[in-house]
Amino acid sequence: MKGSVAAMVSAADYFAEDIKKEFAGEIYVSGVVHEECFEGVATRSISMKVKPDYVVIGEESTLNT
């Protein structure tokens, strides 16, 4: 998952640069340790503080649909 976190941070930076940081709202990047054990607990805690309109999850899919 380290690669997907790095990709999301880079994408957020490029997005902000491309539009000269003129967008409504904020961008948050969340990294969770021990996701297999605590993903739901951590996600719930984050969602209580940040009410996201959109979420991107960097989970490998082997390109299966």
Q: What pLDDT does 18 receive?
A: 92
C-alpha 45/C-alpha 58 separation (Å) is 19
Q: Measured between alpha carbons, how far is residue 64 from residues 38, 55, 57, 60 in Å? A: 25, 20, 15, 10
Band (pLDDT 50/70/90 cuts) for residue 54 is confident
Query: What are the residue ranges spanned by the domains of the chain?
Result: 2-49
Residue 1 has pLDDT above 70, yes or no: no
Question: For residue range 7-39, what is the model confidence (pLDDT) as tens digits?
Answer: 888 988 898 899 888 888 888 877 766 666 766
